[in-house]
Amino acid sequence: MTTALDTEQLTTKVKRMYRDVAERPGGPYHFETGRPLAERLGYDRKLLDRIPAAALDSFAGVGQFFDLAALAEGERVFDLGSGSGTDAFIAGTLVGATGLVVGVDFTPEQLGKARGLASTAGVDGHVQFRYGRIEDLPAPDGAVDCVISNGVINLCPDKAAVFTEIARVLRPGGRLAIADIVTERALAPAIVCNVDLWASCIGGAAQESVYRQAIEDAGLHVETVRANPYQFLSSGARNATDTYGVKSISLLAVK
C-alpha cells in the first residue's frame, strides 16, 4: 500500500535542498545550476551581465519566459519562489526604478543571499525579497501586473490554490509568465509520494493537461505554451523523464 505524501517532510526537504543551492551552487544536484544553464535555456546574455553574478551562480531554473512576460517600465511584478534572485533582478532591470519587483520565497538562506545582493547592487528600493508561501501572496487584490515563476509551482502540493492566488493578485489583463516541470503521462503513486523526487522537481510534476486546466479554472486564459531545452542530470530523474514524459515548458496566461 502506498503511503500519502508527507507535506511537512517535503517542506523540510525542499528548504534543505535550496539552502544548499544558495550556499553551495556547484554541488551535486539532480539538476544543473548557474550561468551556463541560463544561457542554454535562452536567457539574453546582456541581461545576465547586468545582474549580480552571485545570484546567477545559484540559478536553478527550468526555462526562460521574459519574452512572454514582455515587462515594461513601471510595472509591478511578483516572482514566486525567487531563490537567490536571478529572475527578480532581471525583472528589476526591465521595470526600472519606477517599477517594483517582489520575490517571495520560504528558504531563509536564499532570502538572505538575495537581500544582501540587492542591497549591495543598490536596487533594494525596487527589487525586494519577502518571506512567504506562494499559496498566500503578500499583495492586495488586483495589485500586480505580472507574476513570474521558474521551476517552483511543481514543488507545491496544492497547485490549484497557487493559481487561484495568482489570479487574485493580478489586475485585469495581467499576465502569468512561468517555466515549470510537467509530464505527458500521470506519475505513478510511488513517485508522487517520494519526497526526494518532489524536491528534485519530479514527484510533484502535474500532467500538462491537468496543469493547464488548473490555470484556466482559476480564471486565467492560457495563450502560449512551448517546450524548453531542459534536462535532469541524475539517472533516476532521467528514467522518470523517459517513462512519464517529464519535461519543461514555458507558459503565458492572461487574466
Helix (H, G, I), strand (E, B) or coil at 24: coil
For the whole model, what pTM was predicted?
A: 0.93
Phi and psi at 157, nearest 5°, equal -65, -30
Average pLDDT, the chain: 90
Instruction: Tell me the per-residue pLDDT of 115-153, one tens digit each, with 9 for 90 and over.
Output: 999 999 999 999 999 999 999 999 999 999 999 999 999
Average pLDDT over residues 105-117: 95
Q: Quick one: 98 exposed, middle or buried, by C-beta within 10 A (0-12, 13-18, 19+)? A: exposed
Among the CATH numbers 3.40.50.150, 3.40.50.2000, 3.30.420.10, 3.90.550.10, which is that of 7-254?
Answer: 3.40.50.150
CA 225, chain centre distance (Å) = 16
C-alpha cell at 152: 517552483
What's the CA gap between 70 and 67, in Å, rounded?
A: 5
Lowest mean pLDDT among 5-19, 59-73, 107-121, 148-162: 5-19
Tell whether the model's pLDDT for residue 48 goes beyond 60: yes
Residue-level pLDDT at 251: 98
Pairing of strands 206-207, 100-105: unpaired
